[in-house]
Amino acid sequence: MFARLLMACFSLATNAVLAQDSLMDAEEFVPYSNARQLVVRGNVNVIMGGDSYLNVIEFDPDEVSIKTLPGDVIEVSPVSLGRHYNMFSNPTVVVRSNNRFRDLYKIHIRDQGSLVAKDIESLSLAIDVKTTGSVMVEGVMNLNHLQVVSASDVEIYWVDSNNLNVDVFDGNVVLAGRVDFLTMRATDSASVDAAGLIANRSWVAGVGNARLAVFPREELFAYTKNNAVIDVKSRPDVYAPLNQAPSSIVLNYVEMEKRASAIRR
């Protein structure tokens, strides 16, 4: 009896050590020369950022497939039902850069993927979101294009751009920073909060049940249709509205100016 118990304990300890070794061996570090495009497919969580001396990708090959394609393209996708597949949590990939992704110009996010990016300093960036996951990008970046077509939560700051084109068909988007010329369109049930994005020139359109908030300075051309609402947070020098009832353009800065005037009295 004691011998069998001793053998069982030894077998259990051996299996635990082997399992731990296999988990340690599963983690891989793959270097890359440069990242100009990032493509995320499937139910993968991607973390970008963190100052690093190396361009390196950290991942578990039992859960994630990493491809480095011509043109400095990195493609991330899950390995279905891998050896350590977990149906209750998505696998995670960490992508580190030695120059804060200054050369990154396109991010594609598909399916159920999620992205958290910190300290991004891209010189010219476009983001294409077709995921039900969440997207958060933080840094000081020249964002010039954003497209969101699925019910996801997207938060991007700080934008520092000459031109920015935004198309949102669904989901919730928050933008902050500054831009010289902003073109923005929101349709269906999209919500775009750009009250923290100071824009010198703004051409904005809302259709369907879309909700938008903007902070224009020099000029605002605004168009609404159906039940869409555009919330204007600052008085522009030039204002050209066009709305079809029952849609509306709300000049919230008027009430703010009245309150400021009352205080000065």
- Coil, strand, or helix at residue 70? coil
Is position 7 within any domain?
no
In which residue are the tokens 């369907």 written? 208
Q: Say if residue 135 is in the same domain as residue 59.
A: yes
pLDDT of residue 187: 97
In this predicted model, what pLDDT tens digit does every residue of 184-240 receive, in sequence order?
999 999 999 999 999 999 999 999 999 999 999 999 999 999 999 999 999 999 999
Is position 252 within any domain?
yes
Is position 1 within any domain?
no
pLDDT of residue 25: 45
Q: How far is C-alpha 130 from the geometric centre of its chain's CA atoms? A: 11
Is position 260 within any domain?
yes
Q: Say if residue 176 is in the same domain as residue 135.
A: no
pLDDT of residue 80: 73
pLDDT of residue 53: 87
- Coil, strand, or helix at residue 22? helix
Residues near 2 by beta carbon (within 8 Å), at least 6 away in sequence: none
Is position 11 within any domain?
no
Q: In this structure, what is the dihedral angle of CA atoms 93, 99, 164, 127, given to the nearest 10 degrees?
A: -20
Q: Say if residue 101 is in the same domain as residue 171.
A: no
Domain C-terminal end among 113, 141, 169: 141
pLDDT of residue 209: 97
Q: What share of the chain is helix, strand, coil (3-state, %, to 5)?
A: 15, 55, 30
pLDDT of residue 86: 54
Number of domain units in the chain: 2
Q: Say if residue 43 is in the same domain as residue 135.
A: yes
Q: Say if residue 135 is in the same domain as residue 159.
A: no
Q: Say if residue 170 is in the same domain as residue 265.
A: yes
CA distance linking residue 189 with residue 41, whole number of Å: 24
Domain C-terminal end among 95, 113, 141: 141
pLDDT of residue 265: 60
CATH number of the domain enclosing 137 = 2.160.20.120
Q: Say if residue 200 is in the same domain as residue 131.
A: no
pLDDT of residue 263: 60
Domain range spanning residue 93?
Answer: 25-141
What is the model's pTM? 0.85
Domain C-terminal end among 106, 141, 176: 141
Residues of the chain with pLDDT under 50: 1-25, 81-85
- Evaluate whether 235 touches 217 at the Cβ level (below 8 Å): no
Count Cβ atoms below 10 Å from residue 86 Cβ, excluding itself: 9
Is position 255 within any domain?
yes
pLDDT of residue 163: 98
In which residue are the tokens 């399992």 written? 19
- Evaluate whether 76 touches 40 at the Cβ level (below 8 Å): yes
